[in-house]
Structure 1
Amino acid sequence: MTPEQMRDASLLELFSLEAEAQTQVLSAGLMALERNPAQPDQLEACMRAAHSLKGAARIVGIDAGVSVAHVMEDCLVAAQEGRLRLRPEHIDALLQGTDLLMRIATPGDPGGEAAVPAFLAQLAGLLDPAAAQALPVPATPAPAAPVLPEPPVASEPLPEPAAEPEPHAPRKAGKRTGENGERVLRVTADRLNSLLDLSSKSLVETQRLKPYLATLQRLKRMHGQGMRALDGLKAQLEASGQNAEVLQALAQTQQLLAETQQILLQQATDLDEFGWQASQRAQLLYDTALACRMRPFADVLNGQSRMVRDLGRSLGKPVRLVVEGEKTQVDRDVLEKLEAPLTHLLRNAVDHGIESPERRLLAGKPEEGTVRLRASHQAGLLVLELTDDGAGIDLQRLSRSIVERGLSPADTVAQMSEAELLSFLFLPGFSLRDKVTEVSGRGVGLDAVQHMVRELRGAIELTQVAGQGCCFHLEVPLTLSVVRSLVVEEGGEAYAFPLAHIERTLDVAAEDIVQIEGRQHFWHEGRHIGLVAASQLLNRPATQDEGHSLRVVVIRERDQLYGVAVQRLIGERVLVVMPLDPRLGKVQDISSGALLDDGSVVLIIDVEDLLRSVEKLLSTGRLERIERGARSGRGVARKRVLVVDDSLTVRELQRKLLGNRGYDVAVAVDGMDGWNALRSDDFDLLITDIDMPRMDGIELVTLVRRDHRLQSLPVMVVSYKDREEDRRRGLDAGADYYLAKASFHDDALLDAVEELIGGAQG
């Protein structure tokens, strides 16, 4: 590509960026002018946007863009000068021109330029009806169902231009301005994720300085005690009449210790200061990296106000969207996933909720309907409230539809509460529309919205007031990268319950646990709550402390409510989500992992999956009773297994699998670390990977077989490599068992261990 071609390519990209920004200004301004056509500030903003696009299109040589922007500018100038009063048909045409400019500026959309002649004829007809009659191309009426331009997706960074554009270009290469005038750069989501991951790890690393500082402080205290002991010894020697040489040597020792005490004091002070500054910098780095992923809620609303307006026009209903909390910060991934459900709810509000103008006037309401969307932060969640001032939901019609569809008997429906009736609207395929239209009646309704909200680990609730409208209340996490959780301990392992699913935590007295139909329950706030043991759900040894009460986490998923008895509550933590190795597949009841402040691993509970496990145990009758004060395996020596693997995920999963079977498991991060562990401790089995840094598994097995003390130790090689030559290498080196599996969430590993060394307690 020649330099001239590279320069042209960069200018086309710049024009696309210019069109993206200016068409947003045009859309917002034109909808404001529709409500008040004489707003001079909005007329000026729209005219300047059209003028800028005309100049940008002329620079890059897009004649179609010049023509469309020019005729739009003429229309807006006429409105500014009072020669034209903007009517709804003018706004329709100008909005179509806005869409057309975006299509022209979008690479790979050949239909944009083809639609230009019809648009020019349409707008010319509106400006000069007499001249329009002489034109061969008739004016195009406003479409019944407007087609909105898809929002541009910018997941990859734009390539840097090879040459500086001309001085009169709309914007300099690689530079955009934000809402506050700052310079804005486009960065890929993967790079932001990597930055957040590195910053979270640096935050954890700074916490490792604390034990070193504590040790240094303890050493300083011991040093002081030693000096005081020497002072006492000197006094005793002087009293006993020791010769001068001994006293002089003692004095030299005291002087040396005094100098080392000064050095130790200075080093402890320096380390304390360094640790504090490092933790502050790491926290600031983490907060800044997290803020890079956050975007204002307004970013998801691009085009939504226009969509509500156009849909209302096509249905003969004047409707406007009022947004509150546009600057509420939300993770960009959450914003992307919210766009589809919000669009569906907004269309649903216009189609189902807002009445026709005639019915609204008869009901004493304004002719124009209002849909209000409010965004706010609450307890680490993004709370969205979408309300309309429509007619609400006809509960009698809803009841008839439930009975007609055979979803529930009539006598049962008659006794249902309003909330129970409204819950049927979220069932798959349920619709109150009798016929299919372009907007409704296809059976893809609120169930799809609920599914998308659940994928965000959120919840949705519908309330309504007859004749006054409906309200959808959504709660979703502010970010998918960070989750606020309650960390608990069960069987010596840490697990995290996302706070969004926790109703409360409480202590349940032993005498308050009752048996109902063979299941354990306790009474709380007017209802029976089922009680299950975390040890059974998570396959951990039952180690509930002895006492008269249980520590219970009450979790909720939609209408399901269960109490999970845990060994110990550690506390609330903000965890950086670390996805599990995709080779593991779906790990039952676990969604992801994280690191605590001390660097230890915690697994984040998949609450929805956990409750499915509870239902499965209930249906099979295998739900165990919680024995208060019971301890398993006390005083019984367990067989020890050393797991050597450089993958944190695989290492931790093997440790948990073996630990659940009762084995005492130690881990090593590579072959060298494993060799040091074998030489310093006793084990009943070695499980090792092959490919590892510093010392691979083959070298480790070879060293074990050459050592007189370890040569009889059973060795298992577990590797993703399943080629025959890899298997032969492991066995030739001296391994007793070679396990080639793509995942470890089945019984293959456990069966192999029992085959080699028997059960955990022999």
Structure 2
Amino acid sequence: MTSSNAIPPALLELYREEARQQAQILSDGLLALERAPRDPVTLEACMRAAHSLKGAARVVGVQVGVTLAHAIEDCFVAAQEDRVTLDAVYIDMLLRGVDLIAQIGQADETQLERDVDAFVGSLNARLAGNEDAPLPEFDLRLADYADEPAPLAIDEPAQAWPEPLAALVQASGPRMLRVRADTLDRLLSHSGESLVESRWLKPFAESMLRVKRIQREASRALERLHETLADTPAFEQLDPRARAALDEVRHLSAEAHRQMSERLAELENFDRRSTHLSQQLYDEALECRMRPFVDATGGFARMVRDVARSLGKEVRLVIVGETTQVDRDILDMLDGPLGHLLRNAVDHGIESPEMRRALGKPAEGTITLEARHSAGSLFISVTDDGAGIDIDSLRRAVVRKDLASEATAGRLSDAELLEFLFLPGFSMRDTVTDVSGRGVGLDAVQDAVRQMRGSVRVIPDAQAHEGTRFLLQLPLTLSVIRSLIVEVAGEPYGLPLAHVVRTLVLPASEIDTLEGHQHFSFDGRRFGLVTAHQVLQAGTFDAAGDMLNVVVIGQGATSYGVVVDRFLGERMLVVQPLDKRLGKVRNVAAGALMENGDPLLIADLDDWLRSVEKLVAGGEIGRVGVGAARVETVAKRVLVVDDSLTVRELERKLLASRGYDVTIAVDGMDGWNAVRGERFDLVITDIDMPRLDGIELVALIRRDAQLANLPVLIVSYKDRPEDRQRGLDAGADYYLAKGSFHDQTLLDAVRDLIGEARS
């Protein structure tokens, strides 16, 4: 066997690419032949794929690939000549051969050669008439053909390649370029900003139209003045120069109006062209991120078949919407959740062939995987025609696992009961198998879908043994998100609509208090109520009137109403990821720009829910409503670390005058001892200090698990860019120069980091 180390990397990568494509053809063909073993078209396609693999392996010099492909090709030729029938045992053997193809160039070469020899020996023995020839014994990871192939890194000149491969590259269609994913992401981000900027012209043009209307009214007033004066005897007695001046004013006003109209027309044309061009640029950049849904489904048919065989079932996978375009990032994240759902459908959903026949169903079950676009979202469903979900059994499982009392479970609706399926560790199986029963699956599906800013729900059929449908609703792209824009404490926030249950305007009179917590009723359910101000630690909430703007978030029992100041409408926002040095910012997912160019933060509503639940658990929920009493909290604590007495005292007095509880430390070591012994909301530190400087102090804080999230503000005389970068790289949240900031600058920085002194 020719060592892959002796093969030029570009040739080996080219061979792997062809092997990946041909292996997919073989895998799909074998699954089709299992249902129609003598189909001539499928047999011919599989034979050609094996033949192409053999030729490519021979050209590159991968002898083990030649041996493997030749044996598989011989089997297909035998089937074409009716010397063998490709039954389930043959399909099993050939699929193992396909797995071996995916290992070439990646697995240990010596072990791979032994595995190929064992496979070829078993296959040839069966072709020779030995029906008892065992399946070759070797351990293989199932090939994941859904993975996107890595881009080719072709370094050697084409002239140095074997002639067939050089011809293949030169005749391979449109020229392809290797582009880094983060470069493409930046292109999309810039094109989104360009689109936002282009829309700035429209409000500007509208303001100019208002100027035009004022000018037109001024021209009309001049004309009326002229007409009034012309009707009086005194007009003729006016100095000719005065009348000429009046005529000149009328003429200039009319000319200004005409030119204004022309310039506005040009501006409107430019606005249309600019917006159209920016939209095209954005659409093209976005299109570069889109891939057909089929790219994520390559290995699913094989997986369904193998799981079904292991369970003694007959199952067919049908894929609908293969050409549906899906964002690259979403497509890459779909493999895990869809794999869980398909395995669940085979194991939990599809009945055994005997039971299906007894129920009047075909022995072979069907699972349908469908992708489609609708109403600005991507919908992916996994539907089986199996037993469905037994609601009564589910209700008993909920009671048996002490998740609800029998009386409570009896009052739950079907939809509420189905939510229990997504709890960690929940399973309706009493026994553990290789496929299920561990309670791991649907909770992982839900977590993965939430990471994609989507939702998943189960839709059972009304009749028993009519199947189950899982429906995933996802955004079309992770780069653009449709959001509800709200105002909280004077700042705009984008709430992803996929996580907003509904919005409503709630009369304050409908708020009830139960066990110290405020609630309101809607659609027969009760929802806890909290203000976004408290969730975001953005000061206190003052109701402007008797009506409250409420956003309902969450699912099932963990749903809450969050009061915001104002609704500002819905927008498509181009997601701007936060700087990675910030780490995970609580309650915030990303940033974005509004159409007028103003920045806003996109909320992480899962974080909001966790924040609300933490407030509820701690009994810290404030009251909502007109004239409601507010929850008094202790002043937020700030540690000031500086070796200068003057600076320490200046900062202490400034912060104390605004209500903060300030503690001082005389150097970095004193500050480090303080943060380990007491709780602080913020640390303000200098850099140049004895014993332990500010950079070292920040690094120690960031390395401590208990203090890692403690905000740190550096205030230093050092104002060089490299000094700032050094401080931020160490983990500081803010960097201010002593020589340039005023009192308000420091206070603004403190408020940005921890909010007002009392919330």
TM-score above 0.5: yes
**Match of 1:696?**
none
Distance in 2 of aligned mates of 1:609 and 1:67: 56
Q: Return the letter of the residue paired with 1:274.
A: F
Report if aligned partners of 1:593, 1:603 keep a CA contact under 8 Å in 2: yes
- Matched position secondary structure for 2:44: helix
Report if aligned partners of 1:488, 1:566 keep a CA contact under 8 Å in 2: yes
**Match of 1:122?**
122
Question: Which residue among 330, 336, 340 is the counterpart of 1:334?
Answer: 330
The 5 Å alignment of 1:221-300 reads: 221-224=213-216, 239-241=235-237, 262-300=258-296
**Match of 1:475?**
473
**Match of 2:352?**
356
Distance in 1 of aligned mates of 2:393 and 2:436: 17
Distance in 2 of aligned mates of 1:599 and 1:230: 39
Distance in 1 of aligned mates of 2:369 and 2:434: 24
Q: Return the letter of the residue paired with 1:126.
A: R
1:83/1:570 Cα in 2 relative to 1: closer, same or farther (>3 Å)?
same
Report if aligned partners of 1:557, 1:607 keep a CA contact under 8 Å in 2: no
Report if aligned partners of 1:716, 1:737 keep a CA contact under 8 Å in 2: no
Distance in 2 of aligned mates of 1:101 and 1:309: 19
Report if aligned partners of 2:10, 2:152 keep a CA contact under 8 Å in 1: no
Give deviations 1:545-590, integer Å, cap 9, x for gaps. Answer: 6444333222233442222232222211111111223333333322
Report if aligned partners of 1:175, 1:183 keep a CA contact under 8 Å in 2: no
**Match of 2:454?**
458
Q: Return the letter of the residue paired with 2:345.
A: A
Asked if 1:98 is matched to 2:94, the reply is no
**Match of 2:647?**
none
- Cα shift at 1:307: 0.8
Distance in 2 of aligned mates of 1:253 and 1:432: 88
**Match of 1:492?**
490
**Match of 2:58?**
58
- Matched position secondary structure for 2:294: helix
Distance in 2 of aligned mates of 1:9 and 1:728: 48
The 5 Å alignment of 1:170-209 reads: 172-173=168-169, 187-209=179-201
Quick check: 215-224 or 250-259, which moved more? 250-259
- Cα shift at 1:285: 1.5
Q: Return the letter of the residue paired with 2:144.
A: E
**Match of 1:639?**
none
- Cα shift at 1:603: 1.7
- Cα shift at 1:304: 0.6
Q: Return the letter of the residue paired with 2:75.
A: C
Quick check: 595-604 or 234-243, which moved more? 234-243
Asked if 1:561 is matched to 2:563, the reply is no
- Matched position secondary structure for 1:580: coil
Report if aligned partners of 2:452, 2:474 keep a CA contact under 8 Å in 1: yes
1:159/1:252 Cα in 2 relative to 1: closer, same or farther (>3 Å)?
farther
Report if aligned partners of 1:155, 1:188 keep a CA contact under 8 Å in 2: no
Distance in 2 of aligned mates of 1:729 and 1:419: 53
Distance in 2 of aligned mates of 1:198 and 1:297: 26
- Cα shift at 1:121: 1.5
1:112/1:241 Cα in 2 relative to 1: closer, same or farther (>3 Å)?
farther
1:86/1:219 Cα in 2 relative to 1: closer, same or farther (>3 Å)?
same
Asked if 1:15 is matched to 2:15, the reply is yes
Report if aligned partners of 2:146, 2:295 keep a CA contact under 8 Å in 1: no
Quick check: 738-747 or 238-247, which moved more? 738-747
**Match of 1:570?**
568
Distance in 1 of aligned mates of 2:139 and 2:320: 27
Report if aligned partners of 1:14, 1:173 keep a CA contact under 8 Å in 2: no
Distance in 1 of aligned mates of 2:541 and 2:736: 42
- Matched position secondary structure for 1:496: strand
**Match of 1:700?**
none
- Cα shift at 1:598: 0.7
The 5 Å alignment of 1:379-394 reads: 379-393=375-389
Report if aligned partners of 2:727, 2:735 keep a CA contact under 8 Å in 1: no
Report if aligned partners of 1:145, 1:314 keep a CA contact under 8 Å in 2: no
- Cα shift at 1:360: 2.9
The 5 Å alignment of 1:716-755 reads: 721-722=726-727, 730-731=737-738, 746-747=753-754
- Cα shift at 1:276: 0.8
- Cα shift at 1:595: 1.0
What is the identity percentage for the equivalent residue pairs of Structure 1 and Structure 2?
47
**Match of 2:27?**
27
- Matched position secondary structure for 1:18: helix
Distance in 1 of aligned mates of 2:659 and 2:109: 63
- Cα shift at 1:485: 1.2
Q: Return the letter of the residue paired with 1:304.
A: F
**Match of 1:150?**
144
**Match of 1:374?**
370
Q: Return the letter of the residue paired with 1:213.
A: A
**Match of 1:623?**
621
The 5 Å alignment of 1:526-565 reads: 526-540=524-538, 546-565=544-563
Distance in 2 of aligned mates of 1:622 and 1:355: 51
Give deviations 1:320-362, integer Å, cap 9, x for gaps. Answer: 2122222222212112222112112222222333333333333
- Cα shift at 1:62: 1.4
Report if aligned partners of 1:56, 1:170 keep a CA contact under 8 Å in 2: no
1:32/1:662 Cα in 2 relative to 1: closer, same or farther (>3 Å)?
farther
- Cα shift at 1:197: 0.2
Question: Which residue among 516, 519, 522 is the counterpart of 1:518?
Answer: 516
Distance in 2 of aligned mates of 1:279 and 1:631: 49
Question: Which residue among 309, 314, 324 is the counterpart of 1:313?
Answer: 309
Give deviations 1:525-555, integer Å, cap 9, x for gaps. Answer: 1222333223333344567664443332222
**Match of 2:665?**
none
Report if aligned partners of 2:15, 2:60 keep a CA contact under 8 Å in 1: yes
**Match of 1:584?**
582
1:744/1:371 Cα in 2 relative to 1: closer, same or farther (>3 Å)?
farther
1:276/1:76 Cα in 2 relative to 1: closer, same or farther (>3 Å)?
same
**Match of 1:48?**
48
Distance in 2 of aligned mates of 1:414 and 1:142: 53
- Cα shift at 1:35: 0.5
Distance in 1 of aligned mates of 2:269 and 2:548: 42
1:740/1:596 Cα in 2 relative to 1: closer, same or farther (>3 Å)?
closer
**Match of 1:609?**
607
How many residues of Structure 1 are paired with residues of Structure 2 in the alignment? 661
Give deviations 1:631-657, integer Å, cap 9, x for gaps. Answer: 99xxxxxxxxxxxxxxxxxxxxxxxxx
1:549/1:730 Cα in 2 relative to 1: closer, same or farther (>3 Å)?
closer
Distance in 1 of aligned mates of 2:511 and 2:305: 57
Question: Which residue among 124, 135, 138 is the counterpart of 1:141?
Answer: 135
Quick check: 149-158 or 325-334, which moved more? 149-158
Give deviations 1:483-540, integer Å, cap 9, x for gaps. Answer: 1111122332211221112222222234333333333333321222333223333344
Distance in 2 of aligned mates of 1:460 and 1:329: 20
Distance in 2 of aligned mates of 1:539 and 1:404: 41
Report if aligned partners of 2:146, 2:298 keep a CA contact under 8 Å in 1: no
Give deviations 1:594-630, integer Å, cap 9, x for gaps. Answer: 1111111222222222122222333333322223389
Q: Return the letter of the residue paired with 1:428.
A: P
1:242/1:407 Cα in 2 relative to 1: closer, same or farther (>3 Å)?
closer
TM-score (norm 2): 0.76
Distance in 2 of aligned mates of 1:750 and 1:215: 37
**Match of 1:679?**
none
**Match of 1:323?**
319
1:416/1:623 Cα in 2 relative to 1: closer, same or farther (>3 Å)?
closer
- Cα shift at 1:290: 1.8
Quick check: 85-94 or 162-171, which moved more? 162-171
- Cα shift at 1:409: 5.4
Quick check: 354-363 or 499-508, which moved more? 354-363
Quick check: 33-42 or 139-148, which moved more? 139-148
- Cα shift at 1:746: 4.7
Distance in 1 of aligned mates of 2:493 and 2:749: 25
Report if aligned partners of 1:18, 1:170 keep a CA contact under 8 Å in 2: no
TM-score (norm 1): 0.75
For structure 1, the 5+ residue unaligned runs are 133-137, 633-657, 664-686, 691-714, 752-758
Q: Return the letter of the residue paired with 2:522.
A: H
Quick check: 30-39 or 388-397, which moved more? 388-397
